[in-house]
């Protein structure tokens, strides 16, 4: 079945440093890859997503890269701030044209940014 | 525009009881998906509803069911509650079935005693 592996499970950085979270997926038919940020007591919040026809996407301090051949995708956060501290989840889903909406999530990365 | 809302936010039940959770999607969104989040199993897909029909279902027992109304609001029901059903139940909405972007609500925290 589908599986998404996520590393590391915890990541501690100093404010201003960069943080990188990596995910690997098993379903070669996956072509949509969102990243969510979840703060304590809240639901996951979409922060960035990428589709398989794009190799990289950037939004201010956040970027996502995708390597479909290796089935890897990564989240890059630059100039981290304490408010970036949260649990981050990667996810993958299949061809949106089939209407198949199931997201398969990674196990999450707890990011701690120290001032 | 208001986000996804879920009610109630917290719920305490005892084993054997049943529970109904409610989700109101973002205005204009027609697809609603439900996920279960636990420390041990992470985020797992329960089911997806679109146009009042269940379109996709995850690997959960038949005790878990749901429905969607004509206004796209959705409910999920868990019957004969077990201790292992304690979890955060999340609802996500998307515009339609051809749109991947899903927006999550704050969740309902269910505790089964």
Distance from CA of B92 to the nearest CA of A (A): 9
**Cα distance between residue A5 and residue B103, in whole Å:** 22
A23-64: pLDDT as tens digits = 999 988 888 899 999 999 899 999 999 987 779 999 999 999
Model confidence at B67: pLDDT above 70: yes
Model confidence at A101: pLDDT above 70: no
Q: Tokens 């379903």 — which residue?
A: A27
* Chain A residue at shortest CA distance from B4: A43
Cis peptide before B94 (omega within 30 of 0): no
Nearest by CB: A103 against B31, B45, B105 = B45
Residues 6 or more apart in contact with residue A2 via CB below 8 angstroms: A25, A26, A27, A30, A92, A104
Q: Strand (E) positions, chain B?
A: 5-7, 10-13, 19-24, 31-38, 42-50, 53-57, 64-68, 74-78, 87-94, 103-104, 108-112
Q: What average pLDDT does chain A have?
A: 92
Q: Check if B24 contacts A (Cβ < 8 Å).
A: no
Question: What pLDDT sits at residue B96?
Answer: 82
Distance from CA of B27 to the nearest CA of A (A): 17
Question: What pLDDT sits at residue B19?
Answer: 98
Q: Check if A53 contacts B (Cβ < 8 Å).
A: no
Q: What average pLDDT does chain B have?
A: 94
**Cα distance between residue A61 and residue A55, in whole Å:** 17
Are the Cβ atoms of B102 and A102 closer than 8 angstroms? no
Question: What pLDDT sits at residue B35?
Answer: 96
């Amino acid at each position: 079945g589908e599986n998404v592996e996520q590393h590391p499970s915890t990541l501690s950085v100093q404010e201003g440093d960069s943080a990188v979270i990596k995910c690997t997926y098993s379903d070669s038919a996956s072509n949509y890859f969102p990243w969510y940020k979840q703060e304590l007591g809240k639901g996951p919040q979409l922060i960035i997503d990428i589709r398989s026809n794009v190799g990289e996407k950037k939004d201010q301090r956040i970027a996502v890269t995708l390597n479909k051949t290796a089935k890897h995708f990564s989240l890059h956060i630059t100039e981290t701030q304490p408010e970036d501290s949260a649990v981050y989840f990667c996810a993958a889903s299949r061809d949106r044209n089939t209407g198949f909406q199931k997201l398969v999530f990674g196990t999450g990365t707890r990011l701690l940014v120290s001032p | 525009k208001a986000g996804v809302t879920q009610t109630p936010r917290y719920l305490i039940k005892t084993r054997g009881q049943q529970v109904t959770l409610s989700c109101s999607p973002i205005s204009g969104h027609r697809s609603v998906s439900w996920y279960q989040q636990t420390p041990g199993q992470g985020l797992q897909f329960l089911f997806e509803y679109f146009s009042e029909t269940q379109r996709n279902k995850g690997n959960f027992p038949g005790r878990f069911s749901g429905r969607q109304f004509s206004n796209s609001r959705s409910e999920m029901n868990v019957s004969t509650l077990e201790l292992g059903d304690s979890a955060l139940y999340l609802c996500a909405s998307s515009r339609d079935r051809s749109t991947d972007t899903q927006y999550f609500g704050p969740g309902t925290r269910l505790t089964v005693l």
